[in-house]
Chains A and B, each alone.
Chain A
Amino acid sequence: MNKQILFGLIIVLLNVFFAIFAPLIATHEVDEMDFFYIFAKPGEGGHILGTDDYGRDIFSRLVYGSRISLVVGVIAVGIGAMIGTALGIVAGYFGGFFDALIMRFMDALLSFPYVLLAIAMMAVLGAGLFNAMLAIGIVMVPSFSRIVRSAVLNVKNEEFVLAARALGASHLWIIFHHILPNIVPVLIVYSSLNFAGAVISEATLSFLGLGIQPPTPSWGSMLAEAKNYLQTAPHMALFPGLAILFTCLGFNVLGDGLRDLLDPRLKS
């Protein structure tokens, strides 16, 4: 197997492993406070990565935090991919007025810088896990719909599609039997790349206080707390950031490798 894909896959699977077996891997309870070891440095008092301002074990919080990242990633990418695919297929397959209307609207959404639109939506919807997933998912819709639309345009005029139509197949049948299976590779690649985007976006929203609220351990909210103790406890800021960095790196490397493998035309 391609080394790059393998490297990405290992990081991703490691994350999934941490998320599933969090209670077994974590050395402490998530909200357990060790009063005698507040701001413990890494290794002190049996805390592998030290403790935070409440004496909570950073390693354990990071392990549980991977659950939040993965859940937000899966749901947000799911929302973005589903709505984006539906819109992209309608625009690409039927063309004409729908195409123009949908794509102009998607262009407009793309004119808003990615993070900013999510932040603005959170400002209006209010903070919280559910709204964060929704906002991040919606922000992804335009890029998914664009990519799906162009993939559909490539498939639409293939002979097997024309043949199916000549045989009297309905549009719906063609979409489900011929169009969708052909855009799956594109969807896999973009889901992986967008997953990295979702993890960063969640961290960003939580860092600004708009996403997951304390005391739930999210990597972003851990960084928000760490920001106040950069002088006293720099390790509080170091580790959650590394967790985000490596998780995103894993998904980016995986997506990048898959792109080269599955769709040479998309190689940029």
Chain B
Amino acid sequence: MGKYVAKRIIQVIPTLFFVILTAFLLMKLIPGDPAMILLGPQARAEDIARFRQQLGLDRPLPVQFLIYLKRVLTGDLGTSLVYRQSVLSLILERLPVTVTLSLCALVIAVSIGIPAGVMAAMKHNSFIDLLVTILALMGLSIPIFWFGMMLIIVFSLELGWLPAVGLGDPTKGLWDVVSHFILPSLALGILSTGTIARFTRSSMLEVLNQDYIRTAYAKGIRRSLILYRHALRNALVPVITVIGLQLGNLLAGAVLTETVFALPGLGKLMVDGIFRRDYMLVQGEVLFTAILYIFVNLAVDIAYAFINPKIRQTYRGV
């Protein structure tokens, strides 16, 4: 087991290296001189030259990358020129909103997706199966920002049940905070519901065709017991990986959801950063999200190894 964990952690290192390289190269795509663009058209030539030197832009490219790599590895994602604050501290300030939103969305996606997938598999080739398949494909095809707007129109503007935008006020009680998160989480959750439902369905179908399920039926075990004790528990093992992968997509989808619902999270910070040409902030945020995504997947893989007897067996006693 320890060997597996160590192997997975070592595998992450080259990926991390290339991710940092990509974030570095991203800034090299800026058309023209970055120093000139960052300082604006009114900057004097001397100031641009000095700024280039401060950013290390006068050095050869590989040296620039090594400096960048060293900075990132010491936790320095640069400084936002607009906020005049370190990018990392800006991100950490807004992270809780985005993480809360993503996790709520994930809970919604799992609690709709898994039962829907199980139902479709149990009634394979029935009307319910078709319905789940179509709804799942719709979930993949729906633009989440549009779905968010539709939710606002129906539940806030027409029915007046839930608030449309912003964060709740904790002084007004728990409900105020919770109610502000319901619509955004629903809008974002739809993104993963379809994927999880489809995956649960195919995984469940595969398990239901196994010999041991037939044997269990032959032994006369109750159907409900077979489905939940024998089939579902095994079918859910691969679904866990998919759920982990979804978390990354949800973090990215939060960018859009936060824009629609005016939530002060990472996404809003990023979009504002783009329009203020705060390149350092955008670069730092993209890199941060990718690294977060890599570590979430690492954690999921390790958790998966603990649950999945096959991997446990392979590395037993090590």
Contact = CB atoms under 8 A, between A and B. Distances in A.
A121 B286 CA distance: 10
B69 to A, nearest CB: 14
Contact of B29 (A108, A125, A253): A125
A108 to B, nearest CB: 3
Given A207-B256, A253-B137, A244 B146 contact: yes
A107 B30 CA distance: 24
Interface in A182-239: 196, 200, 203-204, 207-210, 220, 223, 226-227, 230-231, 234, 237-238
B160 to A, nearest CB: 12
A120 B282 contact: yes
B19 interface: yes
Contacts of A209: 275
Contact of A200 (B138, B141, B199): B141
A115 B255 CA distance: 9
B145 A223 contact: yes
B121 interface: no
B244 interface: no
Interface in B175-203: 198-199, 202
A268 B133 CA distance: 13
A256 interface: yes
Given A111-B294, A124-B29, A200-B143, A119 B274 contact: yes
A223 B157 contact: no
Interface in B240-281: 248-249, 251-253, 255-256, 259-260, 270-271, 273-275, 279
A262 B249 CA distance: 28
A112 B179 CA distance: 31
A237 B19 CA distance: 37
A230 B154 CA distance: 10
A108 B21 contact: yes
Contacts of B255: 115-116, 119
Contacts of A122: 274
A114 interface: yes
Contacts of B221: none
Given A115-B253, A115-B256, A237 B146 contact: yes
A200 B256 CA distance: 12
A204 B145 contact: yes
B14 interface: yes
A253 B18 CA distance: 34
Nearest to B273: A123
Contacts of B147: 241
Nearest to A246: B141
A111 B289 CA distance: 9
A249 B273 CA distance: 33
Interface in B1-27: 14-15, 17-19, 21-22, 26-27
A105 interface: yes
A234 B249 contact: no
A114 B31 contact: no
Given A119-B255, A230-B157, 12 more contacts: A105-B18, A108-B17, A111-B293, A112-B286, A119-B274, A121-B29, A123-B274, A124-B30, A204-B145, A223-B146, A246-B141, A249-B141
25 contacts: A112-B19, A112-B22, A113-B251, A113-B289, A116-B290, A119-B270, A119-B274, A123-B274, A123-B279, A124-B27, A124-B282, A126-B31, A200-B143, A204-B145, A207-B256, A223-B145, A226-B149, A227-B260, A230-B152, A230-B157, A237-B146, A240-B146, A249-B137, A253-B137, A267-B202
> 3 shortest A-B CB distances, which residue pairs?
A113-B252, A108-B18, A241-B146
Interface of B: 14-15, 17-19, 21-22, 26-27, 29-31, 137-138, 140-143, 145-147, 149-150, 152-153, 157, 198-199, 202, 248-249, 251-253, 255-256, 259-260, 270-271, 273-275, 279, 282-283, 286, 289-290, 293-294
